[in-house]
Amino acid sequence: MFLSLRKIWFLPATLTLLVFVCGAAGVLAVKREPAKHRADLLEARARWSGRPFDAYLMRLRDRGCRMEVEVRSERVIKTRYAARPCEQPPVAVRDLFDLVGRHGTVRRTCVSRGCACDDVLSVRAEYHPTLGYPQMLEITLTPTPNWRHADFWQAVWKTRSLDACNDLPVGSRILTVVSLTPLP
Residue 29 within any structural domain of the chain: no
Q: Is residue 15 part of a domain?
A: no
Range of the domain at 57: 52-182
- Residue 73: CB atoms within 10 A of its CB come to 9
Q: How many domains does the chain have?
A: 1
CA 80 vs CA 69, 159, 160, 171, 175: distances in Å: 7, 50, 52, 27, 17
Structural domain includes residue 75: yes
Rg (CA), the chain: 23
Please check whether residue 6 lies inside any domain of the structure.
Answer: no
Closest CA to 137 of 147, 151, 150, 123: 123
Own/partner contacts of 102-105, CB < 8 Å, gap of 24 or more, are 103/34, 103/37, 104/34
**Phi and psi of 88, rounded to 5°?**
-70, 125
Residue 66 per-residue DSSP state = E
* Residue 25 parent element (H or E): helix 2-49
Residue at 129 is within a domain? yes
Q: What is the DSSP letter of 175?
A: E
3-state secondary structure of 73: coil
Per-residue pLDDT of the chain (184 residues; tens, 9 = 90+): 555 555 555 545 544 444 344 444 343 334 456 788 899 999 999 999 999 999 999 999 988 889 999 999 999 999 998 887 788 889 999 999 999 999 988 878 887 778 888 889 999 999 999 999 999 999 998 888 888 889 889 888 888 888 778 777 788 889 999 999 999 9
Give me the pLDDT at residue 33, please.
65
What is the Cα–Cα distance from 97 to 177, expressed in whole angstroms?
A: 13
In a domain, 66, yes or no: yes
Say what the pLDDT of residue 18 is.
Answer: 42
For residue 47, is it within any domain? Answer: no
Contact 81, 100 (CB under 8 A): no
DSSP classification of residue 170: P
CA distances, 124 to each of 33, 81, 160 (Å): 11, 25, 34
Residue 18, domain member (yes or no): no
